Amino acid sequence: MAVIRPFQALRPAPGVVTKVASVPYDVVNTEEARALVAGNPLSLLNCTRSEVHFDDTFDHYADEVYIKAKSVLEEIKQNAPLVVDEHPHFYLYQLVMNGRKQTGIAATFSVDDYDNDVIKKHEKTRKEKENDRTKHIVTTEAQTGPVFLTYSGVTAIDAIVNKVTLGEVPLYDFTAVDGIRHTVWVLPSQFNQQFVDEIARVKKLYIADGHHRAASASRARKVKAEMNPHHNGKEEYNYFVAVLFPAEQLKILPYYRVVKDLNGLTKNDFLDAVSVHFSIEKTALKEPEKENAFCMFLDANWYRLQAKDAVLASNSLSTSVGDKLDVSILQNFLLQPVLAIDDPRTNKRIDFVGGIRGTGELEKLVSSGAFAVAFSLYPVTVTDLMNISDADEVMPPKSTWFEPKLRDGLLIHTI
């Protein structure tokens, strides 16, 4: 049974929402964050990436950086201003990208549910990223951006969502510079209990995006509990903020691969090696049209690769759900045996490009000489994600790219 709670959001006054709302902290590097906050002291990125206030020689993970994040949040709270709702609420958060809508429930969710696997994971987290966000949460006493959750099978909520989004005046309604429209409504309180009851019937929720935020909320809860001699399990730090979307509304974009060299092979030798497990033909396609096929950009040409029957037959014998994914097929039958990319998490010869950038980015990277070859993949489905999670497996690294992204700073959860 999943637990969902309304909360008192710390949020921007409507007139300054476009100044405060920022891209997620983890989709930009320090240099990009510094450019985005230039001239805008109200951007929450000043808090979530507070290293922008120090020069590059300073340790970005020093205690002073997190102390600065806390002071910046206080400044934004006063100067924006940020306001706190008088009563706990559920909120509806709608994203519109290229005419496609997805509407989720913004709420707080139980850390116990995360720890006990009621909220399912599909991705490994990196300790250094966990350390960073845990320190940020504990020091600022705030979860500044939501986890992205999904679920399947509850239809009673849809009627309420439609009624509210069509009939209520939104709290926020703006289009960000990337063209994504963000609209937020306060859910009328008469629907609160129905939301709680309906979600309680859901056996499992799934993390779509935001594994490090969720893991850090769990670690922060442990720290806060140890600091609190009167801990009773009901404190705000026992919950984390997330937006819960119906799986049917979501779209996953592919994650592309680019490799810096051909592992010492000539072009012809490389193609011969690839042909052991894949049929190869030149093509005008830049993205595969179905599963088990790939497109490859090499030496100014696109090629279509089709996994051979022997590959698919071998995979069908595996008990692993993850082995059947295209990202695994590419890794196990091409990247590792031909290009010696042993561990894509750590190998410095491979890089990843989010599908939102398009195949033009692959052409650009290879044509520049920085990379020798690029691969586009058919996207993983939400069903794949759920099947992986249900099997207690993890996706291969960089398998999913969710778009559009939720904005940080719209609905902050203070702990």
| Proportion of the chain above pLDDT 90, given as a percent | 88
Q: Which amino acid belongs to residue 410?
A: L
Cα–Cα distance, 357 to 337 (Å, whole number): 28
Indicate if the pLDDT at residue 123 is higher than 80. yes
CATH number at residue 334: 3.30.1760
Residue 106 per-residue DSSP state: E
Which residue bears the tokens 């490994």?
124
CA-closest candidate to residue 182, choices 206, 153, 146? 146
Q: Which amino acid belongs to residue 68?
A: K
Cα–Cα distance, 200 to 192 (Å, whole number): 12
User: In terms of domains, do 130 and 183 share one?
Assistant: yes
Indicate if the pLDDT at residue 4 is higher than 80. yes
Contact 260, 373 (CB under 8 A): no
- In DSSP notation, 313-346 reads HHHHT-S-SGGGSHHHHHIIIIITTTT----TTT
pLDDT digit string, tens, across residues 248-287: 999 999 999 999 999 999 999 999 999 999 999 999 999 9
- Contact partners, residue 227, CB within 8 Å, separation at least 6: none
Indicate if the pLDDT at residue 398 is higher than 90. no
Determine the pLDDT at residue 395: 87
User: In terms of domains, do 205 and 311 share one?
Assistant: no
User: In terms of domains, do 203 and 289 share one?
Assistant: no
Determine the pLDDT at residue 184: 98
Determine the pLDDT at residue 197: 93
Indicate whether 348 belongs to any domain. Answer: yes
Residue 15: strand pairing partners: none
CA-closest candidate to residue 295, choices 323, 324, 269, 258? 258
CA-closest candidate to residue 217, choices 148, 137, 145? 137
User: In terms of domains, do 282 and 230 share one?
Assistant: no
Indicate whether 387 belongs to any domain. Answer: no
| pLDDT tier, 7 (very low <50, low <70, confident <90, very high otherwise) | very high
* Structure tokens belonging to residue 361: 């980015």
Determine the pLDDT at residue 387: 93
DSSP collapsed to 3 states, 167-193:
HCCCCEEEECCCCCEEEEEECCHHHHH
| Proportion of the chain above pLDDT 70, given as a percent | 100
Residue 89 per-residue DSSP state: B
Indicate if the pLDDT at residue 154 is higher than 80. no
The residue segments making up the domain with residue 133 are: 4-250+404-414
User: In terms of domains, do 246 and 272 share one?
Assistant: no
- What's the mean pLDDT in 217-234? 97
* Structure tokens belonging to residue 337: 């045996």
CA-closest candidate to residue 194, choices 164, 167, 236, 232? 164
Indicate if the pLDDT at residue 394 is higher than 80. yes
Determine the pLDDT at residue 156: 86
Determine the pLDDT at residue 21: 98
Cα–Cα distance, 384 to 395 (Å, whole number): 9
Determine the pLDDT at residue 315: 82
Determine the pLDDT at residue 236: 98
Indicate whether 398 belongs to any domain. Answer: no
| pLDDT tier, 135 (very low <50, low <70, confident <90, very high otherwise) | very high
Range with the poorest average pLDDT among 21-25, 84-88, 112-116, 123-127: 123-127
Q: Which amino acid belongs to residue 379?
A: P
- Other Cβ atoms within 10 Å of 222 Cβ, number: 14
Indicate whether 178 belongs to any domain. Answer: yes
| pLDDT tier, 12 (very low <50, low <70, confident <90, very high otherwise) | very high
User: In terms of domains, do 227 and 259 share one?
Assistant: no
User: In terms of domains, do 228 and 359 share one?
Assistant: no
Indicate whether 84 belongs to any domain. Answer: yes
User: In terms of domains, do 215 and 175 share one?
Assistant: yes
What SS3 class is residue 307?
A: strand
Q: Which amino acid belongs to residue 300?
A: A
Indicate whether 46 belongs to any domain. Answer: yes
User: In terms of domains, do 374 and 409 share one?
Assistant: no
| pLDDT tier, 9 (very low <50, low <70, confident <90, very high otherwise) | very high
Indicate if the pLDDT at residue 292 is higher than 80. yes
Q: How far apart are the first and last CA of the chain?
A: 24
pLDDT digit string, tens, across residues 304-339: 999 999 999 988 888 888 899 999 999 999 999 999
User: In terms of domains, do 80 and 135 share one?
Assistant: yes
User: In terms of domains, do 241 and 360 share one?
Assistant: no
- What's the mean pLDDT in 139-161? 92
Residue 240: strand pairing partners: 109
- Predicted TM-score (pTM) of this structure: 0.90
CA-closest candidate to residue 248, choices 138, 355, 343, 158? 158
User: In terms of domains, do 272 and 312 share one?
Assistant: yes
Q: Is beta strand 373-377 parallel, antiparallel or unpaired with respect to 301-307?
A: unpaired
Indicate whether 85 belongs to any domain. Answer: yes
- Contact partners, residue 105, CB within 8 Å, separation at least 6: 4, 90, 91, 92, 93, 157, 161, 187, 195, 199, 243, 244
Determine the pLDDT at residue 155: 75
Range with the poorest average pLDDT among 122-126, 134-138, 211-215, 222-226: 122-126
Q: What distances in angstroms separate CA 255 from CA 169, 328, 402, one per listed residue?
A: 37, 12, 10
- What's the mean pLDDT in 363-382? 97
Q: How many domains does the chain contain in total?
A: 2
Residue 99 per-residue DSSP state: T
* Structure tokens belonging to residue 129: 């990223």
Determine the pLDDT at residue 233: 95
Cα–Cα distance, 70 to 67 (Å, whole number): 5
Indicate whether 362 belongs to any domain. Answer: yes
| pLDDT tier, 163 (very low <50, low <70, confident <90, very high otherwise) | very high
Mean pLDDT of the chain: 95
Determine the pLDDT at residue 317: 80
